[in-house]
């Protein structure tokens, strides 16, 4: 495959950073954002936290959203819905399992569904899909902005935006941050999108901690190399925990075929528990995109360094900011 082809999806080749596809008003891929956008996003997300805490406003009065979810979701779907409502907009159509409860169950293609929904006049479509490249395909057929709410095992750009917003709020800076990304790295889309975004900043150091059967993909490591991000790989979180500002834990993606036991210490050590808390710096934080299964012990929740529920709340402010930036571009 030639180097500037990102990937092929249903016979269509997607070229790296095609501006028509990978730029506002679409949000498709974490690589599309530059530092100017990120700076503006942080400011608006901070403002949006104030708006959300004061109540609702009418900034997006008469604006409508479609939520087309072919995969399960709690946080992404609920926070986009809450963001739209808090800004005075409306949800025009929402399906939580489009594979079963839309005409996809009868064999309708994504591109046909997008073309039909656009005919009903939404202002934005939020799409989650199990296949890499689905957001690109939707954007090619849509007459309104597409927001990628997580596709395949490749991209979850709005999660990455809320994650680096959380790092900024909790740690105080992104340049120079030391982060451990832990768990099922070969199948996790959040760690991939976060690596892409962190590659935009200076002096970031990443420790990838995973069993050998689920190491970070070579494509991401090549990208980090091109962006001068230092990274190391290991199998034992206990060795890494004392040195990092952020532990970013992830669950095993069983729905994508991953299966390894965290109790099998011949594979390594990947659980955040009391032993890890005792090793961490006093001002470090623990993040997790959630949902959690067994990779963070419940006893960790009461430690002030456990930032994952605060992180989930930041998803609301981040998504309010993105909707404002997309739907009121001159505001
Ligand atoms: N973090 C995240 O994407 O969660 P949901 O799958 O619940 O949306």
Give the total number of structural domains in the chain: 2
Domain of 42? 5-156+313-327
Which atom from ligand 1 is nearest to the alpha carbon of 78?
Answer: 8
Q: In angstroms, what is the span from residue 118 Cα to ligand 1's centroid? A: 25
* Secondary structure element (H or E) that encloses residue 84, with its range: helix 75-86
Q: Is 77 a catalytic residue?
A: no
Residue 9 and residue 70 in one domain: yes
Give the model's confidence band at 57: pLDDT under 50 very low, under 70 low, under 90 confident, else very high: very high
- Ligand 1, atom 5, residue with closest C-alpha: 73
Residue 182 and residue 259 in one domain: yes
Q: In angstroms, what is the span from residue 147 Cα to ligand 1's centroid? A: 14
pLDDT tens for each residue of 147-159: 999 999 999 999 9
pLDDT-above-90 percentage for the chain? 83
Q: In angstroms, what is the span from residue 75 Cα to ligand 1's centroid? A: 5
How many other CB atoms sit within 10 Å of the CB of residue 23?
Answer: 15
Q: Is 75 a catalytic residue?
A: yes
pLDDT > 70? residue 299: yes
Section 240-248 average pLDDT = 98
CATH number at residue 81: 3.40.50.1370
77 near 128, Cβ under 8 Å? Answer: yes
Residue 151 and residue 226 in one domain: no
Select from 162, 192, 289, 309 the residue to mutate for testing ligand 1; criterion: most ligand atoms less than 8 Å from CB: 289
Question: SS in 3 state form for 139-159?
Answer: HHHCCCCEEEEEECCCECHHH
Residue 149 and residue 219 in one domain: no
Residue 44 and residue 62 in one domain: yes
Residue 165 and residue 97 in one domain: no
Q: In angstroms, what is the span from residue 3 Cα to ligand 1's centroid? A: 31
Q: What is the pTM of this model?
A: 0.94
Instruction: Tell me the angle at which helices 308-327 and 157-171 cross, rounded to the nearest 10 degrees.
Output: 120
Q: Is 31 a catalytic residue?
A: no
Residue 22 and residue 119 in one domain: yes
The active-site residue, picked from 31, 63, 64, 76, is: 76
Residue 260 and residue 286 in one domain: yes
223 near 195, Cβ under 8 Å? Answer: yes
Q: Is 330 a catalytic residue?
A: no
Residue 174 and residue 301 in one domain: yes
Q: Where does residue 152 fall: left (phi above 0), alpha (psi -120 to 50 degrees), or beta otherwise?
A: left
pLDDT tens for each residue of 110-165: 999 999 999 999 999 999 999 999 999 999 999 999 999 999 999 999 999 999 99
Pocket of ligand 1 (CB under 6 A): 73-76, 150, 159, 289-291
Q: In angstroms, what is the span from residue 63 Cα to ligand 1's centroid? A: 24
Residue 235 and residue 250 in one domain: yes
The active-site residue, picked from 106, 226, 282, 298, is: 106
Distance CA 124, CA 188 (A): 26
Which of 220, 81, 196, 68 has the alpha carbon at shortest distance from 130?
Answer: 68
Q: Where does residue 201 fall: left (phi above 0), alpha (psi -120 to 50 degrees), or beta otherwise?
A: beta
Residue 290 and residue 173 in one domain: yes
Give the model's confidence band at 23: pLDDT under 50 very low, under 70 low, under 90 confident, else very high: confident
Which atom from ligand 1 is nearest to the alpha carbon of 77?
Answer: 8
Residue 33 and residue 104 in one domain: yes
Residue of 253 and 162 predicted with greater confidence: 162
């Amino acid at each position: 495959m030639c180097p500037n082809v990102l990937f092929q999806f249903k016979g269509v080749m997607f070229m790296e950073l095609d501006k028509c596809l990978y730029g506002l008003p679409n949000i498709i891929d974490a690589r599309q954002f530059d530092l100017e956008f990120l700076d503006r996003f942080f400011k608006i997300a901070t403002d949006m936290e104030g708006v959300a805490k004061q109540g609702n406003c009418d900034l997006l009065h008469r604006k409508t959203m479609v939520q087309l979810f072919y995969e399960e979701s709690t946080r992404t779907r609920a926070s986009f819905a809450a963001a739209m409502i808090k800004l005075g907009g409306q949800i025009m159509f929402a399906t939580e399992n489009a594979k079963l409860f839309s005409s996809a169950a009868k064999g309708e293609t994504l591109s046909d569904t997008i073309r039909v929904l656009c005919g009903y006049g939404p202002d934005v479509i939020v799409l989650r899909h199990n296949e890499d490249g689905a957001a690109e395909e939707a954007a090619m057929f849509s007459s309104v902005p597409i927001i990628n709410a997580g596709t395949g095992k490749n991209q979850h750009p709005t999660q990455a935006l809320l994650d680096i917003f959380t790092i900024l709020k909790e740690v105080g800076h992104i340049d120079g941050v030391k982060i451990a990304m832990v768990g099922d790295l070969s199948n996790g889309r959040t760690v991939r999108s976060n690596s892409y975004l962190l590659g935009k900043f200076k002096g970031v150091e990443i420790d990838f901690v995973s069993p050998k059967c689920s190491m970070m993909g070579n494509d991401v490591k090549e990208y980090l190399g091109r962006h001068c991000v230092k990274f190391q790989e290991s199998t034992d979180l206990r060795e890494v925990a004392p040195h990092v500002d952020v532990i970013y834990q992830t669950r095993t993606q069983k729905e994508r075929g991953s299966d390894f036991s965290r109790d099998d210490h011949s594979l390594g050590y990947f659980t955040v528990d009391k032993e890890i808390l005792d090793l961490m710096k006093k001002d470090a934080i623990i993040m997790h995109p959630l949902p959690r299964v067994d990779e963070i012990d419940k006893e960790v929740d009461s430690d002030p360094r456990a930032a994952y529920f605060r992180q989930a709340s930041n998803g609301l402010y981040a998504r309010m900011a993105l909707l404002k930036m997309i739907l009121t571009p001159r505001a």
